[in-house]
Structures are given as structure tokens and as C-alpha cells.
Amino acid sequence: MASSSIDHAFTARTPKGRSGDPTYAGALSFMRRKYSKNVAGADAVVWGIPFDAAVTNRPGARFGPQAIRRASAIFDCDPQYPFNRDLFDDLAVVDYGDCLLDSGNHQKTPAAIEREAAKILKSGAFLLTLGGDHFVTWPVLKAHAAIHGPMAMVQFDAHQDTWPDDGKRIDHGSFVARAVKDGIIDPDRSIQIGIRTHAPDDCGIKILYGHEVEEMRAADIAYAIAERTGGKKTYVTFDIDCLDPAYAPGTGTPVAGGPSSAKILSVLRQMTQIDVVGADIVEVAPAYDHADITAIAGSTVAMHYLGLLAEKKARDKA
């Protein structure tokens, strides 16, 4: 065991190092990271946004951050596969907790999310967001764009999220169209992977449809992503419904015909050449899950983000 204490989320003295908590007990922060509102010195900050009032089908993603944190407990204490390293030997990560939102006044939600995201990003840390429905990506994107300017976007999703938007909607199906229109993302450097629905407009974003992903190797998908983003600063957003419902039943708008978790995790593992400046995992709705299948997939996606970040830090240090 790494220590003789428990509840590492509260007892940890630093944002580095593994915990000794049993996988079945202890306070459930993301991967047992220390809960803290002090992000000074952190390489990455994990933050939950428990919001699902923008869904067009089944609600429940407000419980996504809890489910992802719970599922992440299984990662504790071991070198993380496939990175073969303890991610926290050198990577300082804190769990910032959740965004406080007024459940009775959703029109205030976007500004509240953007304001707190900007506060975290001001520290220089990488922000890993746990949703929530996919609308939460919109204000988080705005906070990143305020620092980096128009970004490339890599979107793993069954849906394009480019439906018409008047700029005021609270809607998880139109934020991409708004982000293109407002110059938050660069469509010529953006790509969507796993799309299995049709929207009226692709907004100029490259699409790898579900049937194409089925025929491609993971390495070829990763290459297509690197080619499209072209070295531009990139935000990665992962809607868990990108995966086939067999691998992610716990989501609000499941679509059959998607890729396996193994294939898409292999794609993420190979995204070493992408300049990722922020990332999220959204639309995990545990009420529809079975045996934590979806939560486990979501937490593994989030772990891969940190794994890539840990490798990058190691490379920069070498």
C-alpha cells in the first residue's frame, strides 16, 4: 500500500503520488486525486459539471460525474494500462469537485460554467471536464478559446450537434454549429468520429461516419485526426454515445452501429502528436447503465487523457 491512511481524496498532502485506498472503499474523487479548490502547481484539474437540462431524449447525465469518479476507483495503485506508468509520479492532478449551478434558472448556466472554467484555466492547468450533457462543452470551449483563440476540435460522437441555433438555446444538439459560427473552433481543422445520424449542416467539419470507422484501423483513424488538426491547438470532446450501445448503454441518446470501447481507446492511445489543450467526457447517464459498463468506459477515456498528458510531460522533461 502507498500509505497507511484512507480517504486519499482528503488526506493526500500533495497532488502527486498514488493512494493506498482499497478500490471498494474511501472517498471517491477521480482516481483518488486530492479534492482541492487550490489549483496552484497542478498540471491538470478534473472538474465535474452535473447538468442535463439540455437533453433532447433521456435525462440523467447530471449524475455522470459521480458515476465516472466511482468507476475510476479501479485504476488506483497500479501502473496504468496501456501507458505502463504511474501517471502521478510526476503529474500533479487535483479534483476540483463540481460546478455549482442554479437548477431553477438554466439561462444562468452557460455563464456560470464559463466563469469557473476560466478561473481554473487561468492557473495554466489542463482542464479535464466530466459532464453532464454535451451542452456543457459550449461554455468550456469559450473559456479555452479566450486563451488559445479558434481551436481545432476532435469530437467523438454519434451526433454532429450542428442543428440550427439562435445563439440562446440550451441544447446539447446545436453547440457545434454555434461554436463554428462564433469562431470558437476552426472547422477546417476539426473532425468528428463515429457519426451515425444526419444533421442539416456539417459546418465544414470533416466526418468519419460510423460505417467508415468500422472499416478503418485505429491507427488510420488516429492518422486522420492528426492530419486534420494539423498541429493546431485542439480541444477533444468525447460523447460516450460515440460507442455502440453494447459498450455504453448508459447514455441519453444511444445509436446502434458504433465502435467498440477497445477500438476507440486504441485511437486515443495513438493521439500522441495532437496538441490537446483541453478535453471532456460527457453524456454518461448511469440510470440506464448496467454493471457500470458505461461509467467504466467513460472513466477510462478520462484516464487516457491524463495518460497522454503524463507522457507529454515525461517527453518534455527528457
Percent of the chain at pLDDT > 90 equals 86
Boundaries of every domain in the chain: 8-317
- Give the CA distances from residue 167 to residues 76, 107, 208, in Å, rounded to whole numbers and listed in that order: 42, 12, 27
- 8-317 folds as Arginase; Chain A (3.40.800)
157 annotated among ligand-binding-site residues: yes
Confidence of residue 1 (pLDDT cuts 50, 70, 90): very low
Using an 8 Å Cβ cutoff, are 277 and 43 in contact? no
Positive or negative torsion for Cα 32, 8, 18, 34: positive
134 annotated among ligand-binding-site residues: yes
186 annotated among ligand-binding-site residues: no
292 annotated among ligand-binding-site residues: no
b/e 201-236 (16+ beta carbons within 10 angstroms → b)? ebbebbbbebeebeebebeebbebbbebbeebbbbb
Residues, the chain: 318
95 annotated among ligand-binding-site residues: no
202 annotated among ligand-binding-site residues: no
Residue type, 307: G
> What pLDDT score was predicted for residue 18?
82
Q: Across all residues in the chain, what is the average pLDDT?
A: 95
> Is residue 262's pLDDT more than 60?
yes
Q: How far apart are CA 33 and CA 21, in angstroms?
A: 11
> What pLDDT score was predicted for residue 3?
52
